[in-house]
């Protein structure tokens, strides 16, 4: 990964308390896994930003290396990688996601 791309992804990750790299956007997810994440965050009524990886192939590939995670979507809370769709579902179901987001928004 080029230093420029890393810096660009850093900037996106830190642009909001909760950032989702996904296919599509929060109003029109382009895959079921991205939609799962959007639905969870909407249920929690959390402010979040999305980045459409379909609009930028460099970021689409780079984010996988950045997080060392092979799939999209990817969720970041307070600049930290949380996981993808399956992890978000698990964290939501056991209540950890709500707590994690509340801590992030309070900081």
CA geometry: angle 28, 33, 39, nearest 5 deg: 60
Q: pTM to 2 decimals? A: 0.94
Residue among 104, 59, 61 at smallest CA distance from 41 = 104
Domain count, the chain: 1
pLDDT tens-digit readout, 38-86: 999 999 999 999 999 999 999 999 999 999 999 999 999 999 999 999 9
pLDDT at position 107 is 82
When the pLDDT of each residue in the chain is averaged and rounded to a whole number, the result is: 95
pLDDT in tens, 10-20: 999 999 999 99
Distance of CA 54 to the CA centre of its chain: 14
Q: Could you tell me the residue range of the domain that residue 14 belongs to?
A: 3-106
Averaged pLDDT for residues 80-105: 94
Write out the two tokens for 55. 């609009």
User: Exposure string (b/e) for 49-83, b if CB count within 10 Å is 16 or more?
Assistant: ebbbbeeeeebbebbbebbebeebbbbbbbeebbb
Find the CATH number of the domain harbouring 40: 3.40.30.10
d(CA 57, CA 55): 7
């Amino acid at each position: 990964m080029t230093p420029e791309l890393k810096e660009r992804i850093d900037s996106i990750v830190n642009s909001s308390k909760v950032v989702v790299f996904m296919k599509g956007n929060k109003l029109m997810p382009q895959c079921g896994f991205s939609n799962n994440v959007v639905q969870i965050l909407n249920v929690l009524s959390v402010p979040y930003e999305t980045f459409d990886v379909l609009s930028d192939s460099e970021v689409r590939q780079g984010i996988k290396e950045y997080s060392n995670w092979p799939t999209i979507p990817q969720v970041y809370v307070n600049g930290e990688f949380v996981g993808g769709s399956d992890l978000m579902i698990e964290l939501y179901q056991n209540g950890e996601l709500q707590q994690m987001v509340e801590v992030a928004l309070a900081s």
